[in-house]
């Protein structure tokens, strides 16, 4: 592949992460019904068409605790459709904390991983963890991140070894986190490791998320996400095969439950009429087979619940990257994470031209759009 094509694909991947994250951020935690209701009012369509001013989940902390938006939106203080019942978000909070076209903790973590890889020309587990913690420290006042991530990052900054931060007492659950945060941040690694075979790819992934995600399901999902970006980067929309991709991903699973989940997605892709499929109708039974605390179709916190959502949507909409991201938001739940991960894969497949209008409206400060695009180009100068 010509270097200029590869660079375009890498930029497309990074734009997919940022665009998906910033588009989905205003709707995180909301149901599909509420998202469609808002989209119909705003754009006369059930699918989200652009950025919405909102307070990102986990950003605003009041006397009563963290405000878990979304959240007072652009049309004014009288529009409370997206506020939880009984929650009144003061207008001055929207003025101070409202964001539009800005990324959340998802992209923040991706940029940290990408920057560490560029600095070290390899995965250095301690360096990656430190960079992630520093990015969150410097951006926490408005990016938002869950309390568990805050505690782990604080431990890292205090000098706790990377081998310990993702386990008790720094992470409260034995076995480490099964959540989607490891996979959420891993896509940039695939740009540098685009030619790596399965074993070295998994080793690199394990090291990149060692400080935060140790559970086998989290490592599985992060490895699958990296492999999917690899596949997209080295194919075109004409040579992309959903069946081939899913076969490759199944071979990477070490968790029995993750393997069963990926087999279920493969069956759906093979036998369901994709044009008429209802995403909730397909994904609901698949996610329901494996219960995880605090997670499900309503909010896909667990890796085993986010993975089928991402790969189903990619396989269904890979020819239309914009629709893929819109469909990710339409699922509801963890919308910024789903859309950013789907965006990474379809962006790597289509290059940097498919979202020019959305990309133009992305934030572009010190660690904004242009910074991310430079990192993408530097990552594909590596071949690890």
Any binding-site annotation on 79? no
- Distance, in Å, from the CA atom of 247 to the CA atom of 97, rounded to the nearest integer, reads 44
pLDDT score of 194: 97
Q: Where are the alpha helices (DSSP H) in the chain?
A: 3-24, 32-43, 91-97, 105-120, 125-143, 147-157, 162-165, 181-184, 187-192, 198-208, 216-233, 242-250, 256-271, 279-288, 303-317, 321-330, 335-350, 356-360, 369-379
DSSP 8-state symbol, 65: E
pLDDT score of 113: 98
pLDDT score of 268: 97
Domains of the chain by residue range: 3-52+100-379
| 10-residue mean pLDDT series, the chain (384 residues) | 92 98 92 92 94 72 40 37 42 67 93 98 97 83 74 92 94 91 97 97 98 96 98 97 97 98 97 93 97 95 98 98 98 96 98 95 94 98 96
pLDDT score of 81: 38
The candidate with the shortest Cα–Cα distance to 30, out of 65, 58, 68, is 68
Helix (H, G, I), strand (E, B) or coil at 296: strand
pLDDT score of 98: 72
Cβ(328)–Cβ(321) below 8 Å: no
pLDDT score of 172: 85
Any binding-site annotation on 105? yes
Helix, strand, coil share of the chain (percent; to 5): 60, 5, 40
- How far from 370 is each of 46, 347, 373, CA to CA, in Å? 31, 16, 5
Any binding-site annotation on 334? yes
Any binding-site annotation on 336? yes
pLDDT score of 9: 97
pLDDT score of 69: 44
CATH 3.30.930.10 fits 3-52+100-379, yes or no: no
How do 61-62 and 65-66 pair as beta strands?
Answer: antiparallel
pLDDT score of 173: 85
pLDDT score of 54: 77
Any binding-site annotation on 124? no
pLDDT score of 77: 35
Helix (H, G, I), strand (E, B) or coil at 135: helix
DSSP assignment string, 222-267: HHHHHHHHHHHHTS-TTT--HHHHHHHHHTT--SHHHHHHHHHHHH
pLDDT score of 84: 37
Any binding-site annotation on 338? no
How much is the pTM? 0.92
pLDDT score of 149: 83
pLDDT score of 87: 38
- Distance, in Å, from the CA atom of 20 to the CA atom of 338, rounded to the nearest integer, reads 8
What is the radius of gyration, based on Cα positions, of the chain?
A: 19
């Amino acid at each position: 592949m010509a270097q200029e094509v590869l660079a375009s694909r890498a930029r497309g991947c990074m734009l997919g992460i940022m665009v998906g994250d910033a588009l989905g951020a205003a709707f995180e935690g909301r149901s599909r019904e509420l998202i469609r209701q808002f989209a119909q009012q705003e754009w006369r369509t059930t699918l989200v068409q652009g950025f919405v001013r909102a307070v990102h989940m986990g950003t605003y902390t009041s006397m009563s605790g963290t405000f878990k938006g979304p959240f007072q939106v652009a049309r004014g203080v009288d529009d409370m459709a997206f506020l939880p019942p009984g929650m009144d978000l003061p207008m001055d909070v929207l003025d101070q904390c409202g964001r539009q076209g800005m990324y959340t903790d998802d992209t923040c973590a991706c940029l940290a991983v990408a920057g560490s890889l560029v600095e070290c020309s390899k995965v250095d587990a301690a360096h990656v963890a430190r960079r992630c913690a520093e990015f969150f420290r410097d951006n926490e006042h408005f990016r938002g991140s869950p309390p568990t991530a805050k505690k782990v990052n604080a431990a890292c900054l205090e000098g706790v070894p990377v081998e310990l931060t993702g386990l008790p007492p720094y992470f409260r659950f034995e076995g480490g986190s099964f959540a989607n945060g490891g996979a959420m941040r891993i896509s940039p690694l695939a740009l540098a490791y685009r030619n790596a075979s399965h074993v070295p790819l998994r080793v690199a992934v394990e090291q990149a998320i060692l400080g935060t995600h140790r559970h086998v399901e989290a490592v599985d999902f992060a490895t699958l996400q990296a492999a999917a970006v690899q596949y997209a980067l080295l194919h075109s929309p004409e040579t992309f095969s959903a069946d081939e991709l899913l076969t490759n991903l199944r071979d990477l699973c070490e968790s029995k439950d993750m393997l069963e989940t990926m087999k279920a997605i493969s069956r759906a892709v093979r036998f369901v009429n994709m044009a008429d499929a209802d995403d909730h109708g397909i994904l609901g039974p698949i996610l329901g087979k494996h219960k995880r605390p605090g997670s499900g179709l309503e909010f896909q916190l667990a890796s085993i619940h986010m993975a089928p959502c991402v790969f189903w949507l990619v396989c269904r909409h890979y020819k239309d990257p914009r629709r893929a991201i819109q469909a990710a938001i339409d699922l509801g739940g963890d919308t910024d994470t789903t859309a950013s991960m789907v965006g990474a894969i379809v962006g790597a497949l289509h290059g940097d031209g498919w979202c020019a209008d959305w990309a133009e409206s992305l934030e572009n400060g010190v660690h904004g759009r242009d910074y991310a695009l430079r990192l993408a180009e530097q990552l594909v100068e590596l071949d690890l």
